[in-house]
A and B are shown apart, each in its own frame.
Chain A
Amino acid sequence: MDPIIATFIEENIVPNFNYWIYVILMMIGLYAMITKNNLIKKLIGMAIFQTAIILFYVSVGVKDAANIPIISHHGSEHHQMTDLSSETDSTKEIHNTIDKDKYANPLPHVLMLTAIVVGVSTLGLALAISQKIYKSFGTLEEDEILNKLRPGGHD
């Protein structure tokens, strides 16, 4: 790639690209939830909608040139010593060794673990409800179900 274009992209598009895509995915999911006729399609839209929000949160916690949020044992020799050394020593040692810019922000990750779990629970329950709807109406298309419920309709 031409280096000028690359710099242009890196400076103007990359800083907000994640946030744009998150909004686009969220709009796709929301549109599907509101307008799709098939109940399963609505649920796929719901799952996309929820992952889009998770994408947003995870993007918040990213740092440039940062490691995964697990403190590495191999990188620093200090750790081996701290287990043996006394309390005050070890606190000082670790405090000095851990640079907060080296590790990604763990808080959004934790929040999103919870959000993923909530997402799959909602999906499972909603699938169960749609199976119950199928059992009693014989279809999963919203317009057909509403037709059957209308007093004039058959059934």
Chain B
Amino acid sequence: MIWQFDIIILIFLVIAAIISLRLKDLLGASMVFGIYSFLICLLWAEMGAVDVAFTEAAVGAGVSTVIMIATVFSTKRRSKD
């Protein structure tokens, strides 16, 4: 447990969350959301919650992002906000 890592990842998390909500390109937003999931998965692994990190890596960074991108592809890519 190294708290410096912890603080850095937490700050990156906030940045990733804001970017994925500000991007007008939904495909990019979904990808940044994948990055967000991966960062939070790192954070959990660092906190000792290995099972949660494993699940988040498989679900958040994997399947969630894939189905979100699938939806963006079959609907519209641009967003107004």
**Touching chains A and B, CB distance < 8 Å:** yes
Interface size class of B (residues with CB under 8 A): 35 or more
In the complex, the answer to whether A38 meets B79 with C-beta atoms within 8 Å is yes
State the Cβ distance, B46 to closest chain A Cβ, in Å: 10
Number of A-B contacts (CB under 8 A): 140
In the complex, the answer to whether A40 meets B26 with C-beta atoms within 8 Å is yes
CB-CB under 8 A from B21, the residues of chain A are 28, 32, 36, 41, 44-45, 48
Q: Is B40 interfacial (CB 8 A cutoff)?
A: yes
What count of chain A residues pass the 8 Å CB interface test? Answer: 55
**Apart from A28-B21, A139-B76, what are 20 other A-B pairs with CB-CB below 8 Å?**
A13-B7, A17-B10, A28-B17, A40-B30, A41-B79, A47-B60, A48-B21, A51-B40, A51-B60, A54-B52, A59-B47, A62-B1, A65-B1, A66-B1, A66-B48, A108-B49, A119-B64, A127-B71, A140-B79, A141-B80
B interface residues (Cβ-Cβ under 8 A, vs A): 1, 3, 6-7, 10-11, 13-14, 17-18, 20-21, 26, 29-30, 33, 36-37, 40, 43-44, 47-52, 55-56, 59-60, 63-64, 67-68, 70-72, 74-76, 79-81
